[in-house]
Amino acid sequence: MATLTSQQVWQALEKESFAVLGMVSARNEARTAGIVYVARAGKLYISSRKEAWKVRHIGQNRHVSLTVPIAKRIPFMPWIKIPAATISFAGEAVVRALDEVDDGILQALMRGLHTDPEVRQTTCVIEVTPVRDFVTYGVGVPLMTMRDPQQARGRAPVASN
Domain layout of the chain by residue ranges: 2-155
pLDDT digits (tens, 9 = 90+) for 44-70: 999 999 999 999 999 999 999 999 999
For residue 123, name the pLDDT band (cuts at 50, 70, 90).
Answer: very high
Which helix (H) or strand (E) segment holds residue 122: the answer is helix 117-122
Q: What is the pTM of this model?
A: 0.90
Q: How far apart are CA 10 and CA 44, in angstroms?
A: 10
Higher pLDDT, 49 or 114: 49
What value does the mean pLDDT of the chain take? 91
Query: Exposed, middle or buried: residue 99 (CB in 10 Å: 0-12, 13-18, 19+)?
Result: exposed
3-state class (DSSP) for residue 88: strand
Kindly give, in sequence order, each residue whose CB lies less than 8 Å from that of residue 129, ignoring residues fewer than 6 positions away.
42, 43, 91, 92, 93, 94
For residue 79, name the pLDDT band (cuts at 50, 70, 90).
Answer: confident
Q: What is the CATH number of domain 2-155?
A: 2.30.110.10
Rg of the chain over all Cα atoms, to the nearest angstrom? 17
